[in-house]
Amino acid sequence: MLVARFMPQILRNRSKAAAFAMSVAAVASFALPASTAQAAPTAVDCDSGDVCFWTERNFEGRKCSWNAADMDWRSAPVTCSWSATHNVKSVYNAGTSSRFTGVVYYKGANGNDRAGCTRQQHGGNLAGTYKLRSHEWTTGRCG
């Protein structure tokens, strides 16, 4: 009998609580920014116009960077000292040229064995299971 006596009040309170929760959720959806699958990095150490590669995820570890194509990272004029011994785990393309859409990177010298492509002003973590040896800017589709 006691439950039957208070059931209407319990149901009313539950309905009010549900309505309040829905209102809070609706307001929050307008007040809070929507999350994205891949947030833009806040402080990537890669000079404007360069493409940068790191030995660790999240733009950490040792870095090599270029502002032009390089068909062999292990020979002059620009060399990447760790490219023969360490896998590349992250990349950021800070390119700014309107002539190019991205940078293509390769496991072999002279643009052999394409590993991936990263659009300008984008970057992120790579599989980290391979070494890279060359890259070039591209006007083609990337990403």
> What are the Cα distances from residue 5, in Å, to 9, 18, 48, 116?
8, 22, 72, 69
- Give the residue numbers spanning the domain of 122: 51-138
CATH of the domain at 71: 2.60.20.10
- For 14-53, the pLDDT digits (tens) are 444 444 344 434 433 333 333 223 444 457 999 999 999 9
Residue 89 counted as domain residue: yes
Q: Which tokens in the block code for residue 66?
A: 């270029």
Instruction: Encode burial over 36-60: b for 16+ CB neighbours within 10 A, e otherwise.
Output: eeeeeeeeeebeeebbbbbbbeebe
- In the chain, how many domains are there? 1
Residue 38 counted as domain residue: no
Residue 3 counted as domain residue: no
Predicted TM-score (pTM) of this structure: 0.70
Q: How confident is the model at residue 141 (pLDDT cuts 50, 70, 90)?
A: confident
Q: Which tokens in the block code for residue 56?
A: 């660790």
Let me know: does 118 contact 102? Beta carbons within 8 Å.
yes
Q: How confident is the model at residue 68 (pLDDT cuts 50, 70, 90)?
A: very high
Residue 126 counted as domain residue: yes
Q: Check pLDDT > 50 for residue 91.
A: yes
